[in-house]
C-alpha cells in the first residue's frame, strides 16, 4: 500500500487540486458543482415544460382543424 499523497494543491489557483497519479487538474469547489447541477436541472425542467406546451398546442390545433 502506498503512503504517497493522491492530490496536491495547485499553486495560485484556489479551488483546484492536482491528481498526482494522472497529473489531471480537478476542481474541488463543491458549491460551484452544486450550482452547476441545479442550473442543469432547471434547464431540463424548462425544456420538459416547453415540450409539454408544444404537444398541448399541437393537440389544440388538431382539434381546430378537425372542425
Burial grade of 52 (CB within 10 A; 0-12, 13-18, 19 or more): exposed
pLDDT, tens digit (0-9, with 9 covering 90-100), for 37-51: 999 999 999 999 999
The terminus-to-terminus CA distance of the chain in angstroms comes to 77
Residue-level pLDDT at 1: 54
Taking only the tens of pLDDT, the chain with its 67 residues reads 566 779 999 999 988 999 999 999 999 999 999 999 999 999 999 999 999 999 999 999 999 998 7
pTM for the full model? Answer: 0.59
Specify the pLDDT at position 7: 93
Phi and psi angles of residue 46, each rounded to the nearest 5 degrees, phi first: -60, -45
The pLDDT, as a whole number, for residue 11 is 92
Amino acid at each position: 500500500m502506498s503512503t504517497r499523497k493522491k492530490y496536491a494543491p495547485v499553486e495560485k489557483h484556489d479551488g483546484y487540486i492536482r491528481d498526482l497519479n494522472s497529473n489531471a487538474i480537478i476542481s474541488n469547489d463543491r458549491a460551484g458543482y452544486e450550482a452547476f447541477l441545479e442550473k442543469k436541472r432547471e434547464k431540463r425542467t424548462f425544456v420538459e415544460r416547453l415540450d409539454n406546451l408544444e404537444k398541448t398546442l399541437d393537440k389544440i390545433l388538431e382539434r381546430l382543424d378537425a372542425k
